[in-house]
Chains A and B, each alone.
Chain A
Amino acid sequence: MEKTKERFSLKGAKAKYDVFMSDTQFVNDRKRWASNIKAFILGLFKAIIIIGTCYVVLGPVIGIVARSFFSDADNYNTMVYMIPQEPTLERYDVAIKFLDYLPTAGKSILYSVSLMLIQVMICSMVGYGFARYKFPLKGLLFACVVVMIVIPTHTIMLPLYMTFANFDVFGIIKLIKGSTVNLLSTPVPVYIMTLFGCGLRSGLYIYIFNQFFRGLPKEIEEAAFVDGAGTWYTYFRIMLINAMPSVITVAIFSMVWQYNDTFMAKLFLVSDDLVISKKIGGIADSISTSMKEYDPKILELYTNAGIVLMMLPIIIIYIALQKHFIEGVERSGIVG
């Protein structure tokens, strides 16, 4: 008797459980809960990864900015990690004086902007030529563009140095002046190379423009041609306007990289006053000799202030154009 009762009650529990489990309302609730928790955990993981990566990128930048306000006492105080106890602007004062900041930054920006304009003009033309016209040996010539991207300028630095140390165009200059010209320690070599499509990373820019122009519909040009527009008019007034995303991308890349570049500047001995990124490398030494400050830790604080000053224009440009820039990179032909 007792046994059956127990079995009965067990059966009842099972039945109750079945009803309980098949209650659609409850099942839906449970599923929603489970998926909510899953989404929450996944989101948490994503957030941790993204925030962590952002910290790795931003950490040193924040550190540099913070340390540029350190006074001597803060530097020697091991308890100070990020926020200075006695902040000082002296580092900026000295760095501005030694960098000759405003004129140098102005000249650097002018230098990079002028090179950027040439870069955009020449590279877009070449990219357009490769994208839209058929001519003999086109495949081979485009392979040369790829070679230019792949082989870094470092491989040919010595011949370039020699070329510009004894600069001559088919012996014409020697004929007129009696000797070859030494163009080193002027910015002329950089301008000449950029003008002939061999500047800093020109190959990459040509590639980007080529990809973008290939993606534009041919009908645009055909319409222009039928309406009687000449080749150059079509190119400048129609194609270049249509290629705005890639123009913006190349413009920013070219300007910022030129501003940052020390390789070309060092190779051709371009004056420090034109290239702030080169001048900043020597700032610690010149402060050390003229201010009799020999502690490398303190000198580093001055360098930090200088670096902040140097980064400032880039950051401003980036924040101003950020939206256009990332969209431009995505839409322009950087993707093969």
Chain B
Amino acid sequence: MKKKMSLTTKRSITGLLFILPWLIGFLWFYARSLFMSVQYSLSYMEVKPGGGYTLDFVGFENYLYAFSGHGQFKQILTTSVMDMLIDVPLITFFSLFMAMLLNKKFRGRTLARAIFFLPVLLNSEAIVDTMDATRALLAGGISSSSTEVLEAASSSGVSIDYYIQMFDSLGLPMGVLEYVTGAISRISEIINASGVQIIIFIAALQSISPAMYEVAKIEGATAYETFWKVTFPMVMPHIITNVVYTVVDSFTNSEVVDLAYRVIFKEYNYGLGSAMSLISTIITCLILVLVCRFIQKRTFYYN
């Protein structure tokens, strides 16, 4: 005779049934692959012609080689990480700013939102490459790299160097200047990378109750104060979501990933390629954890 199960067990079994497909997939593809990746990176791997492969354990040799022997890896890794660190705050604040602009009612708002979201849908590799080429041809202030901006500026008769020197003589530190000019020359990259973030912030802004703004207005707060005392704390929790999204997105499109892909599938150096992708993944995860900790400590949770 079948023993009757309690409702709790029954429900937990149903729940497990619901997630079963994913659980199998996760164990089969992700967990196993991660383990295999670590294994590959620790060994010298040779693929046999009939399929199948052999592994010779070599310890941390691949990791050491990636850092000391490989010509490009260190440099590409640092530029990728630096790009990420520069882009993340820029994208976050730009998308918050744009979300606040787009959240107000004005004529053509739907159209503007539709256009802002377009880059998310046109993110195919081929489209992006062609767009970059076209941008370089059109020049008109939308080119994607700083050298192109400088070229376009010199051809239009504006000397950027002059302005840079002017601000330099005002006593602004060079680091700040470089950051600002870097940010401006990346503007198209930043705009194209912030579609999803803008939408997330718009949704967050719409979830703030209008009563709060009413109170702020009655108490005589200026627009500036309202932003820092009401809007910013209320969207704070969503900043983490956006930062995570931006970091992962910029990592997926970064050059380290391309390098690892090349090393594995073009140069057939499987162990080294696995080591490279693991190193970059670990660094990204570290950055994510640190940034999230940093923001979380300062985050105000409404409920």
A interface vs B, CB < 8 Å?
A: 43, 46, 49-50, 53-61, 63-64, 67, 122-123, 125-126, 128-130, 132-136, 138, 141, 144-145, 147-152, 154-160, 162-163, 165-166, 180, 182, 193, 195-198, 202, 206, 231, 235, 256-257, 259-263, 277, 280-281, 300, 303-304, 307, 310-311, 314, 318, 322-323, 325-326, 329-331, 334-336
Between A and B, 16 residue pairs with Cβ closer than 8 Å are A50-B102, A55-B142, A60-B132, A125-B21, A126-B18, A129-B16, A133-B12, A150-B248, A155-B34, A159-B34, A166-B52, A198-B25, A277-B124, A326-B117, A335-B204, A335-B207
A60 lies within 8 A of B199 (CB) = no
Chain B residues with Cβ below 8 Å from A281 are: 125-126
Question: Is residue B171 within 8 Å, beta carbon to beta carbon, of the partner chain?
Answer: no
Partner of B15 from A129, A157, A259 at Cβ < 8 Å: A129
B-side interface mostly: helix
Chain B residues with Cβ below 8 Å from A314 are: 121-122
Chain B residues with Cβ below 8 Å from A159 are: 32-34, 36-37, 40
Partner of B199 from A134, A149, A235, A330 at Cβ < 8 Å: A330
B interface vs A, CB < 8 Å?
A: 8, 11-19, 21-26, 28-34, 36-37, 40, 51-53, 98, 101-102, 104, 106, 110, 112-119, 121-127, 130-135, 137-138, 140-142, 187-188, 191-192, 196, 199-200, 202-204, 206-207, 237-238, 240-241, 244, 248, 251-252, 257, 260-261, 264, 270, 273-274, 277-278, 281, 284-285, 288
Chain A residues with Cβ below 8 Å from B40 are: 158-159
A60 lies within 8 A of B135 (CB) = yes
B30 lies within 8 A of A148 (CB) = yes
Q: A262-B126, A335-B241, A336-B238 are in contact. Are A50 and B22 (CB under 8 A)?
A: no
B114 lies within 8 A of A318 (CB) = yes
C-alpha spacing A235/B104, complex, angstroms: 37
Instruction: List the A residue with the shortest CB-CB distance to B264.
Output: A158
What distance in Å separates the Cβ of A165 from its nearest Cβ neighbour in chain B? 6
What distance in Å separates the Cβ of B179 from its nearest Cβ neighbour in chain A? 20
A151 lies within 8 A of B121 (CB) = no
A-B contact count (CB 8 A): 249
Partner of A318 from B26, B31, B121 at Cβ < 8 Å: B121
A158 lies within 8 A of B274 (CB) = yes
What distance in Å separates the Cβ of A155 from its nearest Cβ neighbour in chain B? 5
B199 lies within 8 A of A303 (CB) = no
The 8 closest A-B pairs by CB, nearest first: A133-B15, A196-B25, A129-B18, A197-B22, A260-B124, A156-B33, A159-B33, A159-B36
A157 lies within 8 A of B264 (CB) = yes
B11 lies within 8 A of A133 (CB) = yes
B131 lies within 8 A of A60 (CB) = yes
Chain B residues with Cβ below 8 Å from A49 are: 101
B134 lies within 8 A of A67 (CB) = yes
